[in-house]
Amino acid sequence: MPLIGDAALGIIAVGAYSADIDTPENRQFVRHYEAAWQTRPSRYSECGWDAAALIATALDTLKGYLGDRTRVRDALKNALPAIKPPRGPMQFDSYRQAISPIYITRTEMKAGRMVNTVIDKLPAVSQESTWGWWNRG
Tell me the pLDDT tens digit for each residue of 41-67: 999 999 999 999 999 999 999 998 999
Using a 10 angstrom Cβ sphere, with 0-12 exposed, 13-18 middle and 19 or more buried, the burial of residue 105 is buried
33 vs 28, 112, 121, 137, CA distance in Å? Answer: 8, 19, 23, 46
pTM listed for this prediction: 0.83
**What pLDDT is attached to residue 130?**
67
Domains of the chain with CATH codes: 5-132 (3.40.50.2300)
d(CA 65, CA 100): 29
65: three-class secondary structure by DSSP: coil
Q: What residue type is assigned to position 55 of the chain? A: I
